[in-house]
Each structure stands twice: as structure tokens, then as C-alpha cells.
A and B are shown apart, each in its own frame.
Chain A
């Protein structure tokens, strides 16, 4: 009897010890989580304190090589900070590719470039299985394509065939690549910065509207001013071309991406953004019905608010204002509007329509 009681006591004691150990482990885990959050908060606070300074330093650094394109750089950064992709359109020789490669250097991220041509295959982008000999046996190994990077420059995307474009756009949307039966997640952060030029349309495959919608911004690269062009000539004809430093690492970039989504927006400003987007739909009388066949999607509304948040953040504001919405409306909406025949005939541009839509909303 005494022996049984002893066993019982020892069992109860060991159960207690187990419980205690579990509680300690649980507590330690919670402490870890809290510490992690606190550390993250400190990091976020630190990044947030210097966000404007970081942005200005990036602009200055890029300004050594890219002259007179501050707006374009700002918009590219906005696309990156909002975890989205951007399409750059401009005439050849305006420095689109240089701009993106310089940005990739300034931000300490992996950068790859694809020159799109009609014979470019999807596997050239996503990667493919190759046969490899291992321990005297031949095995299939997935050879990763250039899409497995942080910043992907798809140069002249409209020269690739629709099949290849689709493979790229799927990767953009899903942030993963499916080859055969396997799925490979892409690295974080991942951005596609595609370029296309509005001339030389022969032998090109213009991106369908549904695929254009996946780019947050369509950035128009325009000719620089005369004085800027003089500086460009000086820089690129001198003995030594300046080199850029790395200013932003992956961790900081992810912190900025988190901060971007934290920027508060008032109901009124949100409504304003929504009004602009809905007014582009030609279902009501007004500017849209006059000029457009199709308007912007809800994805455009999400993109507009997100881009406005990033715009506010890099300009040192802790709230989204109508000014942010107005400034971002052009790059967010211009590739999402489909002009009707009459507008195209008259040579009206999407930017003119957006401008009129904003006037109508106000």
C-alpha cells in the first residue's frame, strides 16, 4: 500500500515537473515573440525616423548618373515600396535600362536582366529541368531562370511572344513559378520593371489589358530638359563615370514596405480616390462615356491608395492627402483606361482623360 502511494507521489511529481517545463517553454516562446516584435518595432521606428532622409539619399545617389528624371525615379521607388511592378515607357536612348540597373545597385538587391525577343521562351525566364550526373546517376535538376532574383528588368517586354509574356506575368502575380509538377517560390522582395517603347511597333506583341493591369504603375520617361541633357553629355563623355554606393539593404527595404501599408488614410481621401477610379468607368454620363470604352478596375483603386501611401511616406507625411492621390492617379490609371475610337481618332491621351476625370470629381 505504502509502495503504491510512493509510486503515485512520484508520478504526480514528475507530471508536475513536465507541466512546469512546458510552462517555462511556453513563456520563453512568448518572450521571444515579444522581443522579436519589439526588435521589429525598434527597426521600423528607426527606418521610419529616417525614411525621408533615405529617400533623398537614394535620389542624390542616382542623380549622379540619372539626370533630370527625379519623377521617374520616385515612381519606380514607389512601385518597389508597395511590392509592385512598374512598366516604363519611353523612346529609345532615354536611359530606362540604366535607370533600373542603377537603382538595383543603390538598393542592395540581386538584379537580373532579360532582353525580350520574339524567340525568347518561357523556360528562358522561369528556368528548366536539366539532366545532371550525381553519384554516377543521372538526375533531373531544376535550373533556376533569371526570374529568381529581387529586381528583374524585362527590357522591351512587348517584343516577347504572348506565351513568354504570360509566363513572366504569372510569376509577377503569384510570386512563384510552376514547372512540371513542382512549384518554386520566388525570392522576397521581387519586382519586375519592364520597359517598352512606343515606336517600332512592327514585330511586337502589345501587352493585353488584363496583363497591363498587373503593373501598378506605367511610368512615362520623357526627354530631359536642355540643361539636364548638357550635364548628361558631360558625365558620359568624361574620363570617369561616377559609381553609385549601396544605400538600402534588403531588411530596410522590407521595413519600408511594411511602413508603407501602415500610413493611415482618412475616409474622405479614400472616397476621393474611389470616386476618381469609378468615374473612369463609362457607365455614367460624363468624361468617361465621352472618351473611354473601358475604365479602371478595383485593382486600380487598391493600387491608387497604395501608391498614394508610399508617396506620402517618402515625402515625410504620416497621412495620405488628396495631393498624393492626384499625383499618383496618372501613373496608376493611364494604362488601365481603354480609349474609344473617337478619342483615338482625335489623338486624346489617357492623361488628358484622367485630368478631366479629376476635374469632374472636384
Chain B
């Protein structure tokens, strides 16, 4: 009789143990996914292949399983704690029955019967703690979203930021190359490039607003209407032109001085939006096809070579 009751209690406990192991394995899987995602994000931020993160997840899973198997001897105690946690009325009762499993007398037998009766009122689903599982699933979804966002915006990684980006570093490089006009010095009988000191930004500006209409400085000294020419303002006395205004061209803010007598209805219109879009598309294509030597104009090959040499030197110094 006592043996039968004992066996029944142990059977019930083992059932709870099995269920709790399943829950633990499920949690370990979720944890492994979270670990993988975290590592994937970290690796992606440093521009390293995110596929490596799977190994971290697998490693976590294996280590957790080893730890789980090492604790096998404590499973029944864990199950008792789990039951007591969910069913406080079983506290002490179940522990007393389990601790005195080898004893047999009237009172211990009645305790076992009591415990078995209470076991019948238990449901395995009550041991499922949804809180941590929901938290883990939610965390996984957020991490997946972050990872997808990083991939979507083509984040090049923190490593990319290690490329020197001073205030005018590209301009310096270009100046050092001697990007300008070729000058022939007859006295020394040599040919050399006379570099113009300009920044990358100025260069873009120069390209964007043409000075073909007679202004002293392209963009600033242009006439009231782009293309009409005859800009009045000149750099010698800029204060008389009132408050500086700015225009945004190619994504850069450019300070402009606008004569008050022209009225406030000056509209700067980028008339070449469509064209630029096409250019950008072409540039992108060219970026791919630039490796084909035939597309490089032969007169720029020296400049390009010097540009990359200088860039390499600066990177080395940094």
C-alpha cells in the first residue's frame, strides 16, 4: 500500500519534472535566439559577417544543455519547489511526504494519500510561467527589427568611421595632388600642375551654380534671376546686403547674400533635379563599372593615382 502510494507520488513528481524540463529547454532555445540576435547586431555594427553569431547561439544552447543535465539529480527538488510555488497549500505537506518517502506508518500513509488527492487537482499548464517567455519572445522580435533596420539603412559599421574625415581632408588630398592647371615653367624647363586651393564643398558649389551670366562669384554675384547675369553685390562690402540668407543645394547649406532692393520674392529653383537624379543613377552605375580602364579618361589617370596614394598615406598615418 505504502509502496504503491510512494510510486504514485514519484510518478506525479516525474511528470512535473518532465514538463519543467520541456519549459527549460524552450527557454534555452529562446535565450539562444536572443544571444544570436545580439551578437548579429554587434557584429553587423562592426561590419563583420553576422552569420558568425549563429555559432554563439549554438554554443549557448550546448552549454545550457550541459548545465541542465548536470543538475539532473536536483530535478525532483526543483519540481517540488515549482509545485509549492504554484500551490502553496502543498508546501511542507509535499516536502514532508517526499523527505519521508522511505518511512511507512499510518500518518505518513495518510499524508501520501492527501498529497495524491491534491496532485489530482493540479494542471501542468499552471506551471508554465508565461511572463519570462513573453518577455523573451518580445525581446527577440525587437532584436530582429533592429537587425533588419541596420541592414535596411546599409549601415557600414563603426569600422567605416575610422576612415579619417577631417574638416576638409578630401580637399587637402586633392590639393596635395595638384589638381589644377598644368603649368609649363620655361625657366626651369619643367611641366607642373598648379593647384587651386579649394575645398570639396566649394568644388561642388562651383559645379552646381554656373557663373556664366556675368557674376563675379558664381552663385553669389549672380543677378536677381538666375541666368540673367549682372550681379551687383561684391565681396568688398558684404554688410550692405543685409542679413545673409542660405540656400540648400545638393544637400549643403550655402550662405547667400541677397540685395534687399530686389524684393523678397527671389526663388532659387533647382532646375536640374531630374537631370541630377539621372546623373546619380549613372554615377552609381559608373561606380561599378569604373573598374573598367577604358572608361577613365587618360588625362585623369595620373590625378586619380595620386589621389589614392595620398589617401593611402593618410590612412597609414592615422
User: Which residues of A pack against B, CB within 8 Å?
Assistant: 41, 44-45, 48, 259, 262-269, 313, 318-322
List B contacts of A321 (CB < 8 A): 92
Please state if A319 and B106 are interface contacts (CB–CB under 8 Å).
no
Q: Mark B230-248, 1 if CB is under 8 A from A, else 0.
A: 0000000000000000000
Beyond contacts A48-B107, A264-B103, A318-B110: 10 other A-B pairs, Cβ-Cβ < 8 A, are A264-B97, A264-B108, A265-B100, A266-B92, A266-B96, A266-B99, A266-B100, A269-B92, A319-B92, A319-B93
Please state if B96 and A259 are interface contacts (CB–CB under 8 Å).
no
List A contacts of B105 (CB < 8 A): 262
User: Can you pick out 13 interface pairs between chain A and chain B where the beta carbons lie within 8 Å of each other?
Assistant: A263-B107, A264-B108, A266-B96, A266-B98, A266-B100, A267-B99, A269-B92, A269-B95, A269-B96, A318-B114, A319-B111, A320-B96, A321-B92
A286 to B36, CA, bound (A): 49
CB within 8 Å of A: which B212-261 residues: none
Please state if B108 and A41 are interface contacts (CB–CB under 8 Å).
no
Please state if B95 and A259 are interface contacts (CB–CB under 8 Å).
no
Interface residue tally on B, bucketed by range: 10 to 19
- List of 6 A-B pairs having minimum Cβ-Cβ separation, nearest first: A266-B95, A319-B96, A264-B100, A266-B96, A318-B111, A262-B105
Q: Which single residue of chain A is at the shortest CB-CB distance from B91?
A: A321
Smallest distance from the beta carbon of B91 to chain A beta carbons, Å?
Answer: 8
List B contacts of A263 (CB < 8 A): 107
CB within 8 Å of A: which B102-118 residues: 103, 105-108, 110-111, 114
Please state if A322 and B92 are interface contacts (CB–CB under 8 Å).
yes
Please state if A264 and B92 are interface contacts (CB–CB under 8 Å).
no
List A contacts of B99 (CB < 8 A): 264-267
A262 to B110, CA, bound (A): 11
A269 to B91, CA, bound (A): 11
A259 to B93, CA, bound (A): 17
Smallest distance from the beta carbon of B116 to chain A beta carbons, Å?
Answer: 13
Please state if A268 and B114 are interface contacts (CB–CB under 8 Å).
no
Smallest distance from the beta carbon of A255 to chain B beta carbons, Å?
Answer: 10
List A contacts of B93 (CB < 8 A): 319
List A contacts of B96 (CB < 8 A): 264-266, 269, 319-320
Smallest distance from the beta carbon of B132 to chain A beta carbons, Å?
Answer: 26
List A contacts of B103 (CB < 8 A): 264
Q: Mark B62-96, 1 if CB is under 8 A from A, else 0.
A: 00000000000000000000000000000011011
A318 to B94, CA, bound (A): 11
Which has the most chain A C-beta neighbours within 10 Å: B107, B111, B114?
A: B107
A268 to B98, CA, bound (A): 11
Q: Which single residue of chain A is at the shortest CB-CB distance from B111?
A: A318
A268 to B270, CA, bound (A): 83
A318 to B116, CA, bound (A): 14
A267 to B80, CA, bound (A): 13
Please state if A267 and B107 are interface contacts (CB–CB under 8 Å).
no
List A contacts of B108 (CB < 8 A): 262, 264, 318
List B contacts of A319 (CB < 8 A): 92-93, 96-97, 111
Smallest distance from the beta carbon of A192 to chain B beta carbons, Å?
Answer: 28
Query: When A264-B111, A319-B111 are in contact, do A45 and B106 touch as well, CB less than 8 Å?
Result: yes
Which has the most chain B C-beta neighbours within 10 Å: A262, A264, A267?
A: A264
Q: Which single residue of chain B is at the shortest CB-CB distance from A323?
A: B92
A266 to B106, CA, bound (A): 17
A41 to B1, CA, bound (A): 14
Q: Mark B197-216, 1 if CB is under 8 A from A, else 0.
A: 00000000000000000000
Please state if A262 and B107 are interface contacts (CB–CB under 8 Å).
yes
A263 to B96, CA, bound (A): 9
A200 to B92, CA, bound (A): 46
A203 to B259, CA, bound (A): 121
Q: Which single residue of chain A is at the shortest CB-CB distance from B101?
A: A264
Please state if A264 and B106 are interface contacts (CB–CB under 8 Å).
no
Q: Which single residue of chain B is at the shortest CB-CB distance from A321?
A: B92
Smallest distance from the beta carbon of A141 to chain B beta carbons, Å?
Answer: 44
Please state if A48 and B92 are interface contacts (CB–CB under 8 Å).
no
Q: Which single residue of chain B is at the shortest CB-CB distance from A319?
A: B96
A262 to B105, CA, bound (A): 7
List A contacts of B95 (CB < 8 A): 266-269
A7 to B111, CA, bound (A): 63
Query: When A264-B99, A267-B99 are in contact, do A259 and B106 touch as well, CB less than 8 Å?
Result: yes
Please state if B92 and A259 are interface contacts (CB–CB under 8 Å).
no
A190 to B300, CA, bound (A): 119
Which has the most chain B C-beta neighbours within 10 Å: A41, A267, A313?
A: A267
Q: Which single residue of chain A is at the shortest CB-CB distance from B105?
A: A262
Smallest distance from the beta carbon of A112 to chain B beta carbons, Å?
Answer: 33
Smallest distance from the beta carbon of B57 to chain A beta carbons, Å?
Answer: 38
Cβ contact of B107, chosen from A266, A268, A318, A322, cutoff 8 A: A318
List B contacts of A267 (CB < 8 A): 95, 99
Q: Which single residue of chain A is at the shortest CB-CB distance from B98?
A: A266
Please state if B111 and A41 are interface contacts (CB–CB under 8 Å).
no
A266 to B103, CA, bound (A): 12
A259 to B108, CA, bound (A): 10
List B contacts of A313 (CB < 8 A): 107
Query: When A319-B111, A322-B92 are in contact, do A48 and B106 touch as well, CB less than 8 Å?
Result: yes
